Amino acid sequence: DAEITQSPRHKITETGRQVTLACHQTWNHNNMFWYRQDLGHGLRLIHYSYGVQDTNKGEVSDGYSVSRSNTEDLPLTLESAASSQTSVYFCASSRGTTGELFFGEGSRLTVL
Amino acid sequence: AQSVAQPEDQVNVAEGNPLTVKCTYSVSGNPYLFWYVQYPNRGLQFLLKYITGDNLVKGSYGFEAEFNKSQTSFHLKKPSALVSDSALYFCAVRDESGGYQKVTFGTGTKLQVIP
């Protein structure tokens, strides 16, 4: 079955370190997204991509970057981790223009 | 600005009773509306969506939702709740003319089904 996987599922890091969260989907979807989930805020969009070599900033993109070199992968990089980036991160993908989002299981990041 | 409100942080319902999880929205154009469910330590799973057509939308696991344009609501319902329905439920909306980047999620409603 097609799926979307995230790694690592749990990560503890220190302030100032670079962190990369991986996202891999086998749905062959063109559209991929990164969200963060925080209590009281629901899900907020960090970055999104509509295809290879296409990346765009979302609502809360400061301190984050993404790259899209193939259809399957959209890694999220925190250039210099900050305590405010402690959160649960979800990758998602979708097809078409009205389709629902398919989410990964999430990556819990703690920045000490 | 586009927004979604889920007025209840938590809804408690007895097993076997009908359940309703409320959602109201605000968009400038025609809405695309979605419900997702999140079980503990899991990602969100799609339940159902309204794009156009019949105001009553049926989805996964026996859930349905009613689109009410005049009240700008899209409440999630189920005729008979199961303990396994206990989870966090998210409503989401986007404007018909907007892309995926303009999807707005509510803050979520925790559903607790009591045996």
pLDDT single digits (tens) B34-52: 999 999 888 999 999 998 8
* Chain A, chain B: beta-carbon pairs less than 8 Å apart: 52
Q: Which residues pair with B46 in a beta bridge?
A: B36
**pLDDT higher than threshold 70 for residue A17:** yes
**Of the ranges B10-19, B84-93, B101-110, which one carries the lowest mean pLDDT score?**
B101-110
Probe site for chain A from B6, B25, B33, B100 (most A CB atoms < 10 A): B100
Cα nearest neighbour of B32 on chain A:
A98
User: What would the mean pLDDT of B47-59 be, rounded to a whole number?
Assistant: 92
**pLDDT higher than threshold 70 for residue B98:** no
CB proximity B63 to A under 8 Å: no
| Partner-chain contact A31 B100, CB within 8 Å | yes
Q: Which residues of A touch B5 (CB under 8 A)?
A: none
Q: What phi-psi label fits residue A22: left (phi over 0), alpha (psi between -120 and 50 degrees) or beta?
A: beta
Where are any strands of DSSP class E within B8-103?
10-14, 19-21, 24-26, 31-38, 44-50, 56-58, 64-68, 73-78, 87-95
In whole angstroms, what is the distance from residue B10 CA to residue B4 CA? 16
User: What would the mean pLDDT of A56-77 be, rounded to a whole number?
Assistant: 96
The whole-angstrom distance between B105's CA and the closest CA on chain A is 6
Q: Which residues of B touch A41 (CB under 8 A)?
A: 107
> Based on the number of CB atoms within 10 Å of its own CB, is B56 exposed (0-12), middle (13-18) or buried (19 or more)?
exposed
User: What would the mean pLDDT of A22-51 be, rounded to a whole number?
Assistant: 92
3-state secondary structure of B100: helix
The residue among B52 and A5 whose pLDDT is bigger is: A5
Please give the pLDDT value at position B30.
87
Cis peptide before A8 (omega within 30 of 0): yes
Mean pLDDT estimate for chain A:
93
**Of the ranges A3-17, A90-104, B38-52, B77-91, which one carries the lowest mean pLDDT score?**
A90-104
Task: List the single residue in B90, B101, B108 with the smallest CB-CB distance to A45.
Answer: B101
Residue that the structure tokens 């984050």 belong to: A64
| Partner-chain contact A56 B101, CB within 8 Å | yes
Dihedral sign for Cα atoms in the order B114, B40, B110, A31: negative
User: What would the mean pLDDT of B71-89 be, rounded to a whole number?
Assistant: 97
Percent of chain B surpassing pLDDT 70: 97
| Partner-chain contact B44 A105, CB within 8 Å | no
User: What would the mean pLDDT of A3-20 be, rounded to a whole number?
Assistant: 96
The whole-angstrom distance between B22's CA and the closest CA on chain A is 15
